[in-house]
Amino acid sequence: MDVTNAKSQMRKGMLEYCILLLLKQQAAYANDIIQRLREAEMIVMEGTLYPLLTRLKNDGLLAYEWQESTQGPPRKYYKLTTDGQEALSQLNVSWEEISRTVNFLKQ
């Protein structure tokens, strides 16, 4: 078994959920999202994040607004939509189910 690959696949599967969790708290700029994910030891590259944000927006889970920046051009800040909040709510339930199952099997 390639443990590194399995770990990578698990992280990829959790990335959408983690992004929605971050944006539940407040709207965020893509670089802020990357920084917060790195702080949580969820390594992610910009090349991975931007297509995912676009897909989540196209799916109606995220919206964005442009905000002026003191450090250059305006920045795109992402936030959850009503559908995004509902999806996050459903993912929270799924996470609890998965977590219970894994913890049960670890015993």
Q: What is the pLDDT of residues 17-72, one digit of tens each?
A: 999 999 998 999 999 999 999 999 887 888 889 999 999 999 999 999 999 988 88
Phi, psi of 68 (to 5 degrees): -60, 150
The reported pLDDT for the residue numbered 11 is: 86
72: left (phi over 0), alpha (psi -120 to 50) or beta: left
The reported pLDDT for the residue numbered 13 is: 83
Half-sphere CA count of 71, side-chain side, radius 13 A: 1
Segments making up each domain of the chain, as ranges: 3-106
Q: What is the distance between the alpha carbons of residues 79 and 8, in angstroms, rounded to a whole number?
A: 26
Residue carrying structure tokens 């790195």: 38
The reported pLDDT for the residue numbered 47 is: 87
Q: In the CATH scheme, what architecture does the domain 3-106 have?
A: Orthogonal Bundle (1.10)
The reported pLDDT for the residue numbered 8 is: 83
> pTM to 2 decimals?
0.89
